Amino acid sequence: MIDVEKYANDLVERFRRNRTLQKKIAFGLLIVLLGLAGKFVFELFPRHYNVSLSGGSLLGNRHQLAKILSEEAGQQNVSIRVVPTLGALDALELVDEGKLDLAFIQSGLDTNFPNVAHVATIAPELIHFLVKPGIKSIKDIRGKVVNMGEVSGGTRILAKQILDLSGLELGVDYVETNHSDLDLIEMRPNRLPDVIVLISYTPSDVAEFLVKERGYDLIEMPFPPSLAIRLGWVADSKILGYMYSIVPPVPSQDIQVVGVNLHLVANKHTDPRAISKVIETLYSPRVASRFNHPLVESNMLLTSGYPISEGTELYLSRKAPLITDAMIDKIKALVGLIMTIGSMGLVLLKWLQIEPEHEQKPQAADESAIQGSDTENKNDNHAVQSVSAAPEASSKDTPDAKDKPKDKSDVLDSLGKISGHIRTLGSD
């Protein structure tokens, strides 16, 4: 049976001895750290983004909003190319295919576009039912010609749903035409349809032309609250009296109409950073001032039926507070992890610096020899000191030591006296 602990210790020991492998690993970690540092430095440099955006028909308010957004986005290093389309469905298909980055569309359309993502919800547009004189209500539409916008537009789909709920069947109770806004403006008055349905913010340039130049009026939709229950995309809205004409008044009073939310959608592969910059521009005071309609940022997540885009999530994350409770918890966990890894690293580093036992023995012998040599030297020094100290001690103990002459003249006098004494003894 394999001893796992012994095998693991052997592997660690081999790694500890293999300085070449350690250097390679350190070099690899250095390369990774330099790469991460380079990425962070790259993110600090300002980047320029190029995106395409559709606002539908050239004569619609959405196209005007797209143009304003394009002009203001330059301050965020974003270039927006405005692309007119035949309608919301046409725009959705282009976005889904990746041929268009962004588009303004209405609610209530088919959401079976897998590559489309929700960016933001704008204020509701209003559905205008413009009618020729003599048509006072929805029931008077029976037997008339109704223009419902282009076939590929979202207006046709929404208008048909409203007329279906009103009990009017296409091909039986009314005849449908599909002229564009431009066609209606250029069309001779006697060829214009009895009813024209268009979706726009107020005031609408097309609606104002039809009222003032072609004599059209507006009728009320008396059941928006009930429609809001049946259809999730319906909003209860109204058109203010005298909006399009004072004499004669059109409408003569505030009228209730169907509102439909306007959404900004994007291809899901569009750069999230570019989308975030577009949203930041969209809700800027300059855009709201030029568009003359409130753009409420708190409504940006009202559902459109599409998943939230990564760009929207990025924008919301930048708007979030810098320090949150969740972030504090993450910081605590991260600090604990760093401390644990740091402690383990210090222990491992200390362990790697310890020499093996067979390398420690010669060193220990050398240290013992050195210590022995030091001891012998100390003993020799002590003996020398003892020998040199002995004469000094004996000289200090001699009684005449303190009577020693301290000068040469004294010594000579003493010698002279001794010589004289010896000569005296010799003569005797």
Residues 117 and 130 in one domain: yes
Position 393 in a domain: no
- The whole-number pLDDT of residue 340 equals 81
Omega before 405 within 30 of 0, i.e. cis: no
Residues 261 and 182 in one domain: yes
Residues 107 and 217 in one domain: yes
Position 428 in a domain: no
| Whole-number Å distance between alpha carbons of 69 and 64 | 9
Q: What are phi and psi of 293, to 5 degrees?
A: -140, 140
Residues 14 and 75 in one domain: no
Q: What is the CATH number of the domain that holds 119?
A: 3.40.190.10
Residues 240 and 222 in one domain: yes
**Of the residues 319, 346, 373, which one is the last residue of a structural domain?**
319
Residues 99 and 3 in one domain: no
The reported pTM is 0.66
**Of the residues 319, 336, 362, which one is the last residue of a structural domain?**
319
- The number of C-alpha atoms within 13 Å of 276 and in the hemisphere containing its C-beta is 14
| Whole-number Å distance between alpha carbons of 119 and 266 | 6
**Of the residues 45, 62, 80, which one is the last residue of a structural domain?**
45
- The whole-number pLDDT of residue 406 equals 46
CA distances from 241 to 155, 203, 208, 252, 389 (A): 24, 12, 13, 5, 129
Tens digit of each residue's pLDDT, the chain (428 residues): 566 777 777 777 777 777 787 777 878 888 887 887 776 666 665 788 999 999 888 888 899 999 999 999 988 889 999 999 888 889 999 999 999 999 999 888 888 899 999 999 988 899 999 999 999 998 999 999 999 998 888 899 889 988 998 889 999 999 999 999 999 999 999 999 999 999 999 999 999 999 999 999 999 987 666 666 777 677 778 899 999 999 999 999 999 898 898 999 999 999 999 999 999 999 999 998 898 888 888 889 988 889 999 999 999 988 766 566 666 777 878 887 888 887 777 776 666 665 555 545 555 445 554 555 555 555 555 444 543 444 444 444 444 444 444 455 555 565 556 555 555 555 54
C-alpha closest to that of 109 among 312, 303, 308, 310: 303
Position 390 in a domain: no
Amino acid at 240: L
| Whole-number Å distance between alpha carbons of 161 and 228 | 12
Position 37 in a domain: yes
| Whole-number Å distance between alpha carbons of 203 and 209 | 11
Position 184 in a domain: yes
Position 103 in a domain: yes
Residues 218 and 262 in one domain: yes
- The whole-number pLDDT of residue 2 equals 64
| Whole-number Å distance between alpha carbons of 95 and 208 | 31
- The whole-number pLDDT of residue 185 equals 93
- The whole-number pLDDT of residue 293 equals 83
Q: Which residue has the tokens 């210590």?
A: 371
Query: How many structural domains does the chain have?
Result: 2
- The number of C-alpha atoms within 13 Å of 149 and in the hemisphere containing its C-beta is 28
Residues 18 and 141 in one domain: no
CB 299 within 8 A of CB 262: no
- The whole-number pLDDT of residue 255 equals 92
Output the CA torsion sign for 154, 159, 165, 167.
Answer: negative
C-alpha closest to that of 87 among 138, 146, 159: 159
Position 92 in a domain: yes
Burial of 214 (0-12, 13-18, 19+ CB in 10 A): middle
Give the pair of three-digit tokens for residue 197.
């349905």
Residues 29 and 129 in one domain: no
Burial of 270 (0-12, 13-18, 19+ CB in 10 A): buried
Residues 224 and 130 in one domain: yes
Residues 4 and 133 in one domain: no
Contacts 24+ apart (CB under 8 A), 170-173: 173/141, 173/142, 173/143
Residues 167 and 254 in one domain: yes
Give the domain range for residue 297: 49-319
Task: Give the strand pairing for 255-267 and 217-218.
Answer: unpaired
Position 259 in a domain: yes
